[in-house]
């Protein structure tokens, strides 16, 4: 990074390494990882992967409000990438927006899972848990 400080990919990679050391809910430990991801998206605002990584970190730290904007940006940049919509669904769930989460998960189901069958199964389970209850019959 010292040789090419304006290369966003290096900041994203640093953020990933630092995020790997963070414990859930430990926001102080996540500050360095968050700073690296924020630097990456500042340098390359059209890099949806960096936006997804930032959103994923915020969700991991238990901060759905901070995860929402990066997840939305990733889904805008990569409308066919399932992972972006899944992250957005998770952030919306953090606000209790079950309808919004269902809509994003439906987008995700139709999206590109990039051969990540485990993530697809997890999203299917999440969607199944968010199904609207059947109307009561009289």
Euclidean distance between CA atoms 118 and 113, whole angstroms:
10
Above 80 in pLDDT, residue 45?
yes
Mean pLDDT (the chain, rounded): 91
Above 60 in pLDDT, residue 37?
yes
Widest CA span in the chain: 72
Euclidean distance between CA atoms 122 and 82, whole angstroms:
12
Euclidean distance between CA atoms 63 and 58, whole angstroms:
5
pLDDT grade for 6, boundaries at 50, 70 and 90 = confident
Degrees, nearest 5: CA angle 131-82-115: 115
In the predicted model, what is the mean pLDDT of residues 52-70?
A: 95
pLDDT of residue 4: 58
Q: What is the pTM of this model?
A: 0.87
């Amino acid at each position: 990074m010292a040789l090419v400080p304006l290369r966003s990919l290096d900041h994203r990679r640093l953020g990933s390494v630092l995020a790997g050391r963070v414990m859930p809910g430990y926001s102080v430990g996540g500050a360095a990882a968050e700073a690296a991801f924020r630097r990456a998206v500042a340098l390359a605002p059209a890099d949806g992967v960096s936006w997804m990584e930032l959103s994923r970190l915020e969700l991991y730290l238990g901060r759905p409000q901070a995860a929402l904007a990066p997840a939305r940006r990733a889904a805008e940049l990569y409308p066919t990438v399932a992972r972006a919509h899944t992250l957005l669904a998770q952030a919306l769930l953090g606000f209790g927006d079950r309808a919004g989460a269902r809509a994003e998960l439906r987008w995700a189901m139709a999206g590109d899972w990039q051969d990540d069958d485990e993530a697809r199964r997890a999203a299917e389970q999440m969607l199944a848990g968010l199904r609207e209850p059947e109307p009561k019959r009289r």
